[in-house]
């Protein structure tokens, strides 16, 4: 059997939702009691395994719990129940400009973000030209990234993450930003990762991308795992659900 790169074991995550809003400290003191609240379970008992050397997709509507699960995988959030085991070094790209300082140049942010992801300055220097070349922002590399477009942000951040050469790469909607040429480079890089025995966990709203790029997929709905298995089968079940409920997302 193929070794699991990631094991998600009965993971649940809750948030506390407050029914009252304190606009000032005085209003809180006047009320004289704790704000009314309730627990909201964004994830409930999620379990699946991601085989090593595979590309694994996560799919579901907005608000389904995908982002919460990704943040748990990236160790930004910690589950309230269950656990996640990552068998290898991981890198994550969850949002535009994550790990970037807006006032620093692209060059400076490559070194900053690379360091955050565990690369030494010497390693970053060796890979710097390749990082910039892949990102396609060479012309602007010495400009402050606050002046970058969202596409430039994502391309540079993604380029740094993949050149860390992690065992497990977690990416969120990276292919939704950027032109066709960059998307093609990303797809080829995922193929290279797979051939090198590395693992990619990809979240995207594009059913076509999940079917064409992923070996397996998991569908999450309202915080619960609906189906996990071969990517095309899971995507078809998800598509059938969307048609049934009349939801285009």
pLDDT tens for each residue of 54-107:
999 999 988 899 989 999 998 889 999 999 999 998 888 776 556 789 999 999
Are 205 and 161 members of one domain?
A: no
- Report the pLDDT value the prediction gives residue 212, as an integer from 0 to 100: 86
Q: Is residue 93 part of a domain?
A: no
Q: Is residue 126 part of a domain?
A: yes
Q: Is residue 95 part of a domain?
A: no
Are 186 and 63 members of one domain?
A: yes
pLDDT in tens, the chain (249 residues): 568 999 999 999 999 887 666 555 566 555 666 666 788 999 999 999 999 999 999 999 888 999 899 999 988 899 999 999 999 988 887 765 567 899 999 999 999 988 888 889 999 999 999 999 999 999 999 999 999 988 888 889 888 888 888 899 898 876 666 677 887 888 888 888 888 989 999 988 888 889 888 999 999 999 999 999 999 999 999 999 988 887 554
- Report the pLDDT value the prediction gives residue 240, as an integer from 0 to 100: 93
Task: Print the domain residue range for 196.
Answer: 4-88+167-245
Q: Which of 165, 182, 214 is the last residue in one of the domains? A: 165
Q: Is residue 94 part of a domain?
A: no
Are 122 and 145 members of one domain?
A: yes
Residue 8 phi, psi (nearest 5)? -105, 115
pLDDT tens for each residue of 211-223:
888 999 999 999 9
**pTM of this prediction?**
0.81
Q: What SS3 string covers the chain?
A: CCCEEEEEEEEEEEEEEECCCCCCHHHHHHHCCCCCEEEEEEEEEEEEEEECCCEEEEECCCCCCHHHHHHHHCCCCCCCEEEEEECCCEEEECCCCCCCCCCCEHHHHHHHHHHHCCCCHHHHHHHHHHHHHHHCCHHHCCCEHHHCCHHHHHHHHHHHHHHCCCCEEEEECHHHCCCHHHHHHHHHHHHHHHHCCCEEEEECCCHHHHHHHCCEEEEEECCEEEEEEEHHHHHHHHHHHHHHHCCCC
């Amino acid at each position: 059997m193929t070794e699991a790169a990631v094991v998600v074991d009965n993971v649940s995550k809750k948030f506390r939702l407050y029914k009252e809003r304190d606009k000032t400290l005085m209003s809180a003191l006047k009320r004289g009691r704790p704000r009314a609240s309730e627990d909201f379970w964004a994830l409930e008992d999620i379990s699946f395994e991601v085989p090593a050397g595979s590309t694994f997709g996560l799919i579901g509507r907005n608000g389904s719990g995908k982002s919460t699960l990704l943040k748990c995988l990236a160790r930004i959030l910690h589950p309230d129940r269950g656990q996640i085991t990552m068998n290898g070094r991981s890198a994550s790209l969850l949002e535009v400009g994550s790990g970037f300082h807006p006032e620093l140049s692209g060059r400076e942010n490559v070194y900053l973000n690379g360091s955050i992801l565990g690369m030494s300055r010497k390693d970053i220097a060796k890979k710097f030209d390749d990082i910039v070349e892949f990102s396609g922002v060479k012309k602007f590399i010495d400009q402050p990234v606050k002046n970058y477009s969202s596409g430039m942000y994502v391309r540079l951040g993604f380029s740094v993450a993949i050149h860390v050469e992690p065992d497990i790469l977690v990416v969120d909607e990276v292919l939704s930003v950027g032109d066709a040429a960059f998307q093609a480079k990303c797809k080829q890089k995922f193929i290279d990762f797979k051939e090198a025995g590395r693992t990619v966990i990809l979240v995207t709203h594009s059913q076509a991308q999940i079917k064409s790029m992923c070996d397996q997929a998991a569908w999450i709905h309202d915080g619960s795992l609906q189906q996990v298995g071969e990517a095309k089968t899971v995507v078809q079940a998800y598509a059938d659900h969307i048609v049934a409920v009349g939801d285009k997302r």
